Amino acid sequence: MRVLSDNILIRKGITVKTFYRHELKHPINIIDSEELKQRLLLVTALDSFADEKGGYTVKSLYFDTLNNIALQEKLDGVQHRSKFRIRYYNNNTSFMRLEKKCKNNHLCHKENANITKEQCQSILNGDWDWLKDTDHPLLLELYIKMSTQLLRPKSIVIYRREAFVHPVGNVRITIDSNLRRGSFVHDFLEPNTAAYPLPVGRVLEVKYDSFLPSYLHDLVRIKNRQASSFSKYAFSRLY
């Protein structure tokens, strides 16, 4: 696979047009968060995955090379970069996804493939040969990178997410709290993964397609808060 432009990929001789979304992140505090949620509930809907308390738990397993290319590219501010992760929600391992997130400044694009708990456990056990026998291009790409670039599971990140959606602009606004780092990557599938808190308050993320409606732009604007390039993965590796 090679990149032809910001939104065109060449994979196996086939030109595939990818779709990038805008992504803005803001570290915020608990007061910002509570005020923002009250405003958001007036004009947006809760994500369909929300539980009775209005949110859900996200657990992600991030991959990196032995010399930490993904982490270093993030720290160096490389505009075109990507990272792999496996993610599931609310400790429900019956639905898991391998994701590849590609970043180009404040634009992002995600590819994903469903995997089973047993397949994830095989990767954790050091057995990924089965990936080459699949027909999904993302699983094949993971196999190639694990075999040639020594890509390996490196960090677990766990947090509580509250998500709000709006149809105009395909806007998705999330507030993440209780960020934790798993102590051992091999415990990724355990329901009570040992983890310790990360020294960050809450993280606001705003994602949208071609435009963000002005009324939502004004609504999520928080005094003395500026968009940043905050990365949960990088934060989990540095603290």
Domains in the chain: boundaries:
24-238
pLDDT on residue 224: 72
24-238 to CATH, choices 3.10.310.40, 3.30.420.40, 3.30.70.270, 3.20.100.30:
3.20.100.30
User: Which residues on adjacent β-strands are paired with residue 164?
Assistant: 46, 173
pLDDT on residue 49: 85
Q: Mean pLDDT check: name the lowest of 69-73, 84-88, 227-231, 233-237.
A: 227-231
pLDDT on residue 17: 60
Which carries the bigger pLDDT value, residue 15 or residue 25? 25
Which carries the bigger pLDDT value, residue 106 or residue 220? 220
The DSSP line for 65-81 is: -TT-HHHHHHHHT-SEE
Q: What is the pLDDT of residues 162-201, one digit of tens each?
A: 999 999 999 999 999 999 999 899 999 999 999 999 999 9
Give the contacts of 44 (CB within 8 A, at least 6 positions apart). Answer: 164, 165, 166, 171, 173, 216
Which alpha helices (DSSP H) does 91-136 contain, by range? 117-124
- In terms of DSSP bridges, do strands 195-197 and 152-166 run parallel, antiparallel, or are they unpaired? unpaired
- Enter the DSSP assignment of 170: T
Q: Which helix (H) or strand (E) holds 154?
A: strand 152-166
Q: What is the pLDDT of residues 63-104, one digit of tens each?
A: 999 999 999 999 999 999 999 999 999 999 999 999 999 999
Band of pLDDT at residue 18, cut at 50, 70 and 90: confident
pLDDT on residue 9: 43
